Amino acid sequence: MMAMSILEDPEFVKLRQFKGKVNFNLVMQILDEIELDLRGSDNIKTSIIYVYSSHLDEIRKNKEFYDMIAEILQRYYKKIGIENVNQLILTTIK
């Protein structure tokens, strides 16, 4: 199963360290906004920058975490779809 192997990738293993340490609802909101923006722009990097700029305080407060999220989104969204990547991220940190 592809999803299981992805969850064992170093990014997701590292992401587990943030379980319970970040505002889950805010992460969910940010991921939703990126997904929504991506539908219009079709450029994941642009969508991430745009949405992150709307949440600068949160992003700065948890820079390492959000850098990792950006890396994961860019690496996997074309392979498995943005919705699936978002679900894997949320499942990993919940």
pLDDT tens, 23-61? 999 999 999 999 999 999 989 999 999 999 999 999 999
**Of 63, 55, 60, 36, whose CA–CA distance to 47 is shortest?**
36
Range of the domain at 28: 2-93
Question: Cα separations (Å) of 40 from 5, 47, 64, 70, 80?
Answer: 30, 9, 27, 18, 19
Judge whether residue 2 has pLDDT over 70.
no
Which residues in the chain belong to E strands, given as ranges? none
Question: pTM of the entire structure?
Answer: 0.91
Identify the pLDDT of residue 1.
Answer: 46
Identify the pLDDT of residue 7.
Answer: 84
Token pair recorded at residue 8: 């064992």
- The count of structural domains within the chain is 1
- Output the domain CATH number for residue 22: 1.20.120.970
Identify the pLDDT of residue 66.
Answer: 98
